């Protein structure tokens, strides 16, 4: 195998990197690919909770690079989806516990045995981001349609380009078509024109994201809400399928039955 190593990053905090990493990882695994999701947010780990795997962590990324355990021992297997693994971050260490060289070595060790490695980056442009991005072949930049988020995404794209990353694409998250229609939110075309990278998908604002995060069950496990559909489309585009871009309506499926249905698995 020769894994595609993809970093999910943003610059600005709280825009949805961890949510995107969890959902795309699950969606790819459900398509039959073997996936390792790495939490590179050392000291502020979150991906374990969003994926619902926090109670099964024994070792973490820092243990691996320090040689306290083997890489395979630190991988937490998701029992709900075949071939999905989490490499958790350390909670009680700082970002400088790992060097870029160690991160490259670790990712290259995974490359031979898995189809995809997704790396959840911490916010910011400092060492934590650099560690998360250093080993990646591809980058998914997450931005919300807000000026500050777009500006930070622009900065991150510049840094990724200067690091020689060739494949950089954009995910616009928390899109609200009603606000765009009223002229109160940046349109996706504005965002993608400013950032001038390939637009991989648009994820609407969706309460089901919050519900699923609190349950530790990413929407891609099999839910039908608008954001779940957007994540599935993004997964298919990553796999090279030609899925037309949609600009989702966050009120789609807000009827009573649709609302009930979206809280259950398909
Ligand atoms: N499409 C969405 N609709 C509604 N809520 C969302 C959506 N995407 C993310 N959120 C919520 O936004 C919050 C931040 O998301 P998340 O933790 O994924 O961001 P992050 O970029 O990883 O943050 P950090 O920079 O702190 O690591 C979470 O509470 C999440 O549930
Ligand atoms: Mg995060």
Separation CA 121–CA 130 (nearest Å): 9
Residue 130 near residue 165 (C-beta atoms within 8 A): no
Number of the ligand closest to the Cα of 13: 1
Find residue 141's DSSP bridge partners.
Answer: 9, 170
pLDDT digits (tens, 9 = 90+) for 169-195: 999 999 998 888 888 888 898 899 999
Tokens of 246: 């949609």
Please state the atom number of ligand 1 nearest to the C-alpha of residue 14. Answer: 23
Eight-state DSSP code of residue 219: G
Does residue 255 register a pLDDT over 90?
Answer: no
- Lowest mean pLDDT of 150-164, 207-221, 249-263, name the range: 249-263
Which residue has a Cα nearest atom 26 of ligand 1? 14
**CB distance 206 to ligand 1 below 6 Å:** yes
User: Model confidence at 252, in pLDDT bands (50, 70, 90)?
Assistant: low
**What is the strand order of the sheet 116-120 is part of?**
76-77, 84-87, 35-39, 116-120, 4-9, 138-143, 167-175, 198-204
CATH of 4-262, one of 3.30.70.360, 3.50.50.60, 3.40.50.300, 2.40.170.20: 3.40.50.300
- Which residues lie at CB < 5 A from ion ligand 2? 17-18, 46
How close is the Cα of 138 to the center of ligand 2, in Å? 18
pTM of the model: 0.94
Nearest CA-CA partner of 7 in 89, 129, 95: 129
**CB distance 140 to ligand 1 below 6 Å:** no
Please state the atom number of ligand 1 nearest to the C-alpha of residue 203. Answer: 1
């Amino acid at each position: 195998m020769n894994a595609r190593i993809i970093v999910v990053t943003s610059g600005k905090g709280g825009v949805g990197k961890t949510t995107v990493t969890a959902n795309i990882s699950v969606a790819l695994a459900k398509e039959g690919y073997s996936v390792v999701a790495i939490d590179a947010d050392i000291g502020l780990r979150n991906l374990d909770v969003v994926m619902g795997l926090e109670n099964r962590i024994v070792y973490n990324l820092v243990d691996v690079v320090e040689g306290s355990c083997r890489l395979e021992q630190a991988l937490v297997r998701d029992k709900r989806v075949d071939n999905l693994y989490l490499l958790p971050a350390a909670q009680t260490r700082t970002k400088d516990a790992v060097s870029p060289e160690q991160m490259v070595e670790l990712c290259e060790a995974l490359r031979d045995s898995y189809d995809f490695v997704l790396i959840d980056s911490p916010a910011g442009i400092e060492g934590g981001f650099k560690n998360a991005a250093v080993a990646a072949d591809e980058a998914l930049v997450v931005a919300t349609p807000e000026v500050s988020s777009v500006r930070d995404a622009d900065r991150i794209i510049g840094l990724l380009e200067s690091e020689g990353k060739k494949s950089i694409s954009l995910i616009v998250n928390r899109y609200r078509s009603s606000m765009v229609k009223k002229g109160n939110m940046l349109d996706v075309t504005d965002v993608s024109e400013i950032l001038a990278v390939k637009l991989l998908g648009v994820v609407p604002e969706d309460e089901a994201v919050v519900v699923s995060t609190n349950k530790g069950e990413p929407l891609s496990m099999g839910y039908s809400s608008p954001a779940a559909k957007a994540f599935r489309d993004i997964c298919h585009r990553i796999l090279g399928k030609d899925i037309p871009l949609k600009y989702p309506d966050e009120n789609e499926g807000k009827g009573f039955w649709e609302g009930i249905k979206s809280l259950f698995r398909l």
